[in-house]
Amino acid sequence: MADGDVSEIEKDVDRLYVQLLERAFQQVKPVQVSPERLKLPEMRVEYEGRSTVIMNFKAICEILRRDPRILASYFGKSLGASYSVEEGRLYLHARYPPDTLKSVLQGFFRRYVKCPICGSPDTELIRKQRRMELVCEACGAVSAVEKI
């Protein structure tokens, strides 16, 4: 093999190496998430007698891609309230101001939606026997979270 060929091969190897490095860097780079995507959905809150009703509960669950039973249970536990889900609405059987509800939803988002590694909201919550796992679709991280 002539010297010329060897250096051509070396160049190819160098080029490949650079490509591999670039790809590796892309994989560890934090995912760019627009602030818009991290904004919480607005809750429509109404009061019926002694109950607080989140009217668009089903839509919120769909936006966050979470099982309504999980989010309902989180609200119930966080507020120490009994609750029920009827026709896509969440009924909390006590009166709570909108700010309180908002901070509960924020807490849920922070712990059960947003990836703690890269900050992406594109995650899946998987129920295991004794715990739950947050699996990130953006960076692939699997984070253990407290069971709800």
DSSP state of 37: G
Select 53 or 141, whichever has its Cβ closest to Zn ion: 141
Select 2 or 28, whichever has its Cβ closest to Zn ion: 28
Stretch that binds Zn ion, among 18-26, 32-40, 88-96, 107-115 (CB under 5 A): 107-115
- The tokens for 80 are 């120490």
**Closest to 136 measured CA to CA, from 144, 128, 38:** 144
What is the edge-to-edge ordering of all strands in the sheet holding 89-92? 45-48, 51-54, 89-92, 83-86
In angstroms, give the least distance from the CB of 24 to Zn ion: 16
In angstroms, give the least distance from the CB of 65 to Zn ion: 15
Q: Which residues bind Zn ion (CB under 5 A)?
A: 115, 117-118, 120, 136, 138-139, 141
